[in-house]
Amino acid sequence: MANLSPMMKQYFDIKKQYPDTILFFRLGDFYEMFYDDAKLASRELDLTLTGRDCGQEERAPMCGVPFHSYETYLAKLVAKGYKVAICEQMEDPALAKGLVKRDIIRVVTPGTVLESSMLDESRNNYICSVYVRGNTAGVCFADISTGELYATVLTAELAEQLKNELSRYSPSEILVNSAVLDFTQLPDFIRNRLSASLELLEDGEYEQQKTTEEVQKQFGGKTLEDLELADKPELTAALGALFSYLHRTQRTGIERIASVQLYSGAQYMKLDLSARRNLELIETMRSKEKRGSLLWVLDKTHTPMGKRLIRTWMEQPLLSPAAISRRLNAVEELTGDAVLRDEIAEELSGIHDLERVMSRVVYGSANGRELRSLESTARRLPPLRSAIKGVQSQLLCSILENIDPLSDIADLVDRAIVEEPPFSLREGGIIRSGFSEELDLLKGDMSSGRGILADIEAKERERTGIPKLKVGYNRVFGYYIEVSNAYKEQVPPEYIRKQTLTNCERFITPELKDLEGRILGAHDKSVQLEHSLFEQVRKEIAGQMERVQHTAVAIAQLDVLLSFAQVSVDNQYTRPIVDMSGKLELRESRHPVVEALLNAPFVPNDVTLDKDENRVAIITGPNMAGKSTYMRQVALITIMAQIGCFVPAASARVGIADAIFTRVGASDDLAAGQSTFMVEMAEVADILKNATSNSLVILDEIGRGTSTYDGMSIARAVVEFVANKRTLGAKTLFATHYHELTVLEDLLDGVKNYNIACKKHGDDITFLRRIVRGGADESYGIEVAKLAGVPNKVVKRAKQILAELTSAAPAVPQSRKLAKQEEAVPLQMTLTPPGEAEALERLRQIDVNTLTPIECMNELFELAKMVKGGS
């Protein structure tokens, strides 16, 4: 190491400070990596590994990436969980005296990405900090690219609560203390399910005085009481450790996070990981794509801020009818004014990502083009304000008040920055003429110098008689006079030969040398001055961070409300009544996603659930008939109502649900050693432990994966538990193939039977998609198997086996309760003919909407026969 070159000594001194990173070491136009970093990067980035003499016998392994396109390579490394330290040249190498000064400007980790090319504009990129002590956890989520910071305290059932919160925000990087690792399954969950980077911080990072000082420093010296953190030591520790980590990795710009938003479970509907996945709120279960999700239907936003906010709203449905009503009032006002919607949409379409551009301004990484995008966005704010000036709803009025025109920022950028600024500051040409008198003088020298060069060229051609003589420039020799070999005999004696080429020779003159010093000196000074002026402009704009942030938030809210309104108009949605009644009454409701995907009309259905007579709906019917679709649409409509959107129904009353729990579909978790049945039972257990009487519970085919009698027993016990007000009493949709459970309607209060209507024609079956009262008469499993393409030979044999099993099975009364009542009630005379009573009961069971005209005629004929006594 003693024989290392000065540059390599500098490299190792810097590397020693950041041993757990890949060091991007700036050398000229490249970021170079050496030794182990080079070997790792060459493998991960598929780069050629070369070597460099560094003063030792062995050449140092080396590879590099171009400075102008480093983000592509950086993105690949960060996506794989690596940290990258950016070591920049802190001075112009051409002006440096000796070794160029270099230093780390930031460390890029998965949760601290700022580069727009590496971020998805439609979603936040959170870094999370978790501190656990005893039965309490402080958790916070920060997006340094937007300045958002959310924090909460969790108590009891920490393992599950942490999973749910982490799933809600999907952070890309998570900082934890050692106690978090006591939840043995959590690290695997973080790495495998969230694909997040996990960083274990030293216990010293959570020392009380240190974390308190970090929090107060971040928020301008405010006390913990001012920040409502005095009684939240675990949360203070999580926040303090986060800020300490960000100061180490980012160096500058952390002031972008100017406030913390505290939240609790009492504000938002509880949606655990299973519910979000099963209901496909943000992405589909199979393909993980947006198309086919509820977000795909509702997201018609125009701005990046709106795209991020609509995702947040969907994952955090509100529990306050008043707050929901504020959103619904705004949506209603927008749905009623097509001209207003069009005007708002037109102005929003030209708005750039204010939040992330502002973050790069504060961090000092925004370039001229991004400042110009800020200016063009600000120009749209006055007409946007004019468009919504006459609004009446409280939320839209608040949005109008919070949209700052930012005219001063737009004017500053317009005066300072050229309309088409270069990407890099290194070449100059970014500051507009007239902004700086000193810069204009330097550029005048450069322009006049170029004019003088043209004059010299013309004068020398005439003086020497060499028609093709030209004045040129390169970075090695500076300015020169070039003469082709055909005319070299005519070169004047005062020309000084500088370079001989194959076809020509190059010369200099004292006059040309003096001019070179003047022009190049003016150029270097102008580039330095432009860089300084640009930084001044950027710093001045950074000082307006709070105004820009308030405006960005208001625009995002307006964008989401407009999206809700436009979707509601396009899809004929209805404003729901949202209250604390506990009732869920939907008339002609539809599945928002399925109807958007279908090319045919969607068959609507009614829903009646409450906390009294209609607590549990047992839904029977064949597979593929639409039970799961029906149950999911009820859950999705509830969520849509509680995020403040209109819903797909003719009318809707939605009593606030504090949580939605789902047990839908089958899946193994082999990595955790759990079978399909074990996963199902674990999810059922979680639901029964955490649901309340105000929750909405969706249970699909409970009891599969074990013997028929075991499964049926479990399913019945679950129904009894959720139906009983003393144990749970939650609104529940329970789909099952166990027809034996339909007897529970007569045995348990609050249980009602429903089935999916279908028609059987010989061996064929037609699904009518209509939910009707009563239990299904059979499962139609064999018919569905035939529809799925099972060979006819297997289908026929299945029918034979079914007949044998059915004939051997003991007869079971449909209702033991009814059977006992029939035994107890003696026969008595009635004046009503028996045929009329039978006809009346049959009439109650008929759903006219599901009958074809010929079937209606047949039913009418049968009813007439009953009334006439079969004659």
Per the annotation, where are the binding residues for ATP?
Answer: 621-628
Burial class of residue 313 (count of CB atoms within 10 Å of its CB; 0-12, 13-18, 19+)? buried
Closest CA to 666 of 635, 612, 705: 705
Give Rg (Cα) of the chain: 37
Task: Give, for 479, the enclosing helix (H) or strand (E).
Answer: strand 478-484
Distance between CA atoms of residues 121 and 677, nearest Å: 39
The answer to whether 480 and 516 are in contact (CB under 8 A) is no
The answer to whether 306 and 560 are in contact (CB under 8 A) is yes
Chain center to CA of 609: 32
Distance between CA atoms of residues 113 and 359, nearest Å: 11
Residue carrying the six token digits 């309104």: 565
Q: E-strand spans in 635-712?
A: 651-655, 659-663, 696-700
User: What are the tokens at 818?
Assistant: 């009814």
User: What are the tokens at 9?
Assistant: 């000594």
The answer to whether 774 and 644 are in contact (CB under 8 A) is no
The dihedral built from the CA positions of residue 323, 325, 326 and 331, taken in this order, carries a sign that is: positive
The answer to whether 347 and 306 are in contact (CB under 8 A) is no
First to last CA, the chain: 112
SS3 486: helix
Numbered residues of the known binding site? 621-628
Half-sphere exposure of 705 (CA within 13 A, CB side): 17
Q: E-strand spans in 681-800?
A: 696-700, 731-735, 751-761, 764-773
Distance between CA atoms of residues 393 and 457, nearest Å: 72
Q: What residues does 200 pair with on adjacent strands? A: 176
Q: What are phi and psi of 171, to 5 degrees?
A: -65, 155
Q: What is the SS3 assignment for 118-176?
A: HCCCCCCCCEEEEEEECCEEEEEEEECCCCEEEEEEEECCHHHHHHHHHHHHCCCEEEE
Distance between CA atoms of residues 181 and 504, nearest Å: 74
The answer to whether 126 and 169 are in contact (CB under 8 A) is yes
Question: For residue 654, which amino acid is it?
Answer: V
